[in-house]
A and B are shown apart, each in its own frame.
Chain A
Amino acid sequence: MLASPAAAADAVKIGLVASLTSDFALIGVLQKNAGVMAVDEVNAAGGAQGRRVELLVEDGSNSNTVALGALNKVLGDRPLAVLAPLWSTQLLAMFPTIEKDGVPTLSTTGTRKVTQLGNGWYFRYFPHDGITKTAATEFALNELGRKKVGILYVANEYGQSGRDIIVETLKKHGLAPVAAESHNATDKDMSAQLLRVKQAGADVIISQAHPADTALILKQQRQLGIDLPHVASSAASQPSMLRIVTDKDLDGVYVETAAVPAIDPRPEVQRWLRSYEERFKTTADVFALLYYDMTRMLLQAIKDGGAERSRIRSWLEKTRYEGLGATYACDAEHNCNHRAVILRYTGKTPTIVKTYDSTPK
């Protein structure tokens, strides 16, 4: 059956605010590509409700002000929904406008707090820190049998949120971290922090940092001969990190993340990866994969729920959706992804060693 391209008249509009410039573009561009890919696929198959889907793309760069400007600009065209950036500072800056305008907003942020503020229009498509960092901590305690946790975190909301969750989880087991050291995202030498963690008698390190600093931490940990198991955050499985870390530094490291498309055996995932790479000349990461799922789910909501904001919202709230990266089911706080995995790297090849899935059945 030949699918006819959707009618151009009266397009369905969706806003897309992502970091297309500045260092945030590392993830932003990958995500925007995924969104574009999803929309193109749906349009080729007839669109949503027979209408063409149109993306209104604006750059949020690395500043709250620019992101808010982008959102304002996009909202001027009354889109049905907005695909938002995953940076929690930008999201929080956008929240008042989102609530006032009443527009369903979706993104893949991990910072726990974002869905605890009662914004009924925001939907989260990444397992939040409460899931991932708890998984990492449980893994260290139960699977690795460790008790004395040393935390290394980057000094921003991402790192601080992660640290807080780790501390909370340890408390539930009647434990406390033996050390918690922070560093700035641009720091180049974390040996002091590493040594402090070692001095404190840690028997495992859990870190929450970005790709470049995680790579430096792993490198320096090995150089200092600190032979402790390390459970790193999802930054460590990012393509940008894999390009700068050496096999030796990554060997034996555990990483918590939401999904690992590269090693997913399912043919549909591999096909998706290949077509992404062919089209955009770059490797997709877990953030791109989940963003793709998120966009497809939104388009499905428009198709099945209706081309209207509150209908989209109710559909998203009630419907279970099988994506490529996870099965999505939104809870009362609008957290829709409840699956975390722990990987173990042998050189630069990861294998999934444990899955923590709390998706409601």
Chain B
Amino acid sequence: MLLLATLIPLALAGRDYPLFLATTAVIHALLAVSLDVVVGGLGLISLGHAALFGIGAYLSAAAMLGLGLPWLLALVAAGLGGAVAGLVLGALSLRIRGHYFVLVSLGFGEIVRLVLLNWKSLTRGADGVIGIPSPSLGGVAIGSKLGVYFLSLGVLVAVIVLTRRVRTSPLGRAAVAVRADEMAARASGVSPALVKLSALAWSGAAAGLAGSLYAHFYTFISPDVFTVDVSVTVLVMVIVGGAGTAGGPLLGALLLTVLPEWLRPFRQYYLIVYGAAVVLVMVFLPEGVVGTLRRARLRPRAALT
């Protein structure tokens, strides 16, 4: 899959529209992967992901425009900001469970958006931030669409690799234990609080990185980019693709980025079908496309289960 992701865009070099789509898909994929840490990893549904995305975007823009920092530092700032915001959400998740957490995450997302909108002196409010510089490495600006694509791909791959490392580490195993049975996990010395906070912080950091990529790619951000709709879309990407699977969020991101563009002439009906698809997938393929495929493949071998 990585091979495809590298080769196809090279073939598309110079064709702006497909490259634009590809980069957008990568950013969406990063968002989906970051949300899956929480949804797939902890079984927790969050509708506030857009806030983490937005905080990263604004911090990155502010770092380059306001403080004149080079892009790599801005990226780091975005990741840190996202992590802090994730920690706040994580702290909330310790006290508030299940359905309530869904609502609280929604509230969190809206609060952040409203603050971004109304704190004009800090964020320029509804006007948005224009003229965000392109990313640059070592002082060299990467303005070409192809360059930005590969940069984003690099960040995505790095996050995926790191996430996988964490999954197989003691912390990752602790997360599985907590998800299965929190009380038993606690009894065997695992701290559910630590697990949740770490997961949400990591999820926030990755989302923040996506925010930075978005800001410097689109060069314009405003509060109306980071709405509940975005949070919902990312959640759908994770669920339709398959929460907790390696390829699920990636597939979901790809599908939900490319399909609406393909179906442009039918957008009105696309949205209706999209809603129906969410219902159908949830009903018939609760583990998402990748999850169901994986289960189907495993079934002949899992005769013991």
Contact = CB atoms under 8 A, between A and B. Distances in A.
Partners in one complex: yes
Contact of A117 (B130, B222, B224): B130
Interface in B95-141: 117-118, 120, 125-128, 130-131
Contact of B126 (A61, A63, A156): A156
Contacts of B299: none
Contacts of B130: 92, 95, 117
B16 A76 contact: yes
A155 B113 CA distance: 12
B142 interface: no
A72 B18 CA distance: 9
A72 B218 contact: no
Interface in A304-329: none
Pick the most buried of A70, A92, A113: most chain B CB atoms within 10 A of its CB: A92
A58 B260 CA distance: 12
A157 B128 contact: yes
Contacts of A95: 130, 220
A151 interface: no
A95 B132 CA distance: 12
B20 interface: yes
Interface of B: 15-17, 20-21, 24, 117-118, 120, 125-128, 130-131, 218-220, 222, 224-225, 229, 260-261, 264, 267-268, 271
Pick the most buried of B24, B130, B220: most chain A CB atoms within 10 A of its CB: B220
Interface in A37-96: 58-59, 61, 63-66, 68-70, 72-73, 75-76, 89, 92-93, 95-96
A160 B222 CA distance: 14
A113 B125 CA distance: 14
A151 to B, nearest CB: 15
Contacts of A69: 17, 20-21, 24, 261
A4 interface: no
A20 interface: yes
A114 B24 CA distance: 25
A64 B267 contact: no
Contacts of B17: 69, 72-73, 75-76
* 9 nearest A-B pairs in the assembled complex, by CB-CB distance: A157-B126, A72-B17, A93-B220, A72-B20, A156-B126, A76-B17, A96-B219, A21-B267, A73-B17
Given A75-B17, A92-B220, A155-B117, A21 B271 contact: yes
B218 A64 contact: yes
A89 B16 contact: no
A61 B267 CA distance: 9
- Categorize the interface residue count of chain A: 20 to 34
In terms of DSSP, what is the predominant structure of the interface of chain B?
helix
A109 to B, nearest CB: 13
Given A20-B267, A61-B267, A69-B24, A89 B224 contact: yes
B245 to A, nearest CB: 26
B125 A160 contact: yes
B133 to A, nearest CB: 11
B141 to A, nearest CB: 13
B82 to A, nearest CB: 19
A25 to B, nearest CB: 9
A65 B225 contact: yes
Given A75-B16, A157-B127, A89 B222 contact: yes
B264 A59 contact: yes
A70 B15 CA distance: 14
A161 B219 CA distance: 21
B127 A96 contact: no
A159 to B, nearest CB: 8
5 contacts: A59-B264, A75-B17, A96-B220, A159-B126, A160-B126
Interface in A107-150: 113, 117
Contacts of A72: 16-17, 20-21
A163 to B, nearest CB: 11
B280 to A, nearest CB: 22
A89 B128 contact: yes
A157 B222 contact: yes
B140 to A, nearest CB: 18
Nearest to A59: B267
Contacts of B127: 113, 157, 160-161
Contacts of B222: 64, 89, 92, 157
Nearest to B143: A100
Contact of A155 (B16, B126, B220, B271): B126
Contacts of A92: 128, 130, 220, 222
B261 A64 contact: no
B149 to A, nearest CB: 13
A92 B128 CA distance: 9
Given A73-B264, A76-B16, A92-B220, 12 more contacts: A21-B267, A61-B267, A70-B264, A76-B15, A89-B128, A89-B224, A92-B130, A95-B130, A95-B220, A157-B128, A158-B126, A160-B127
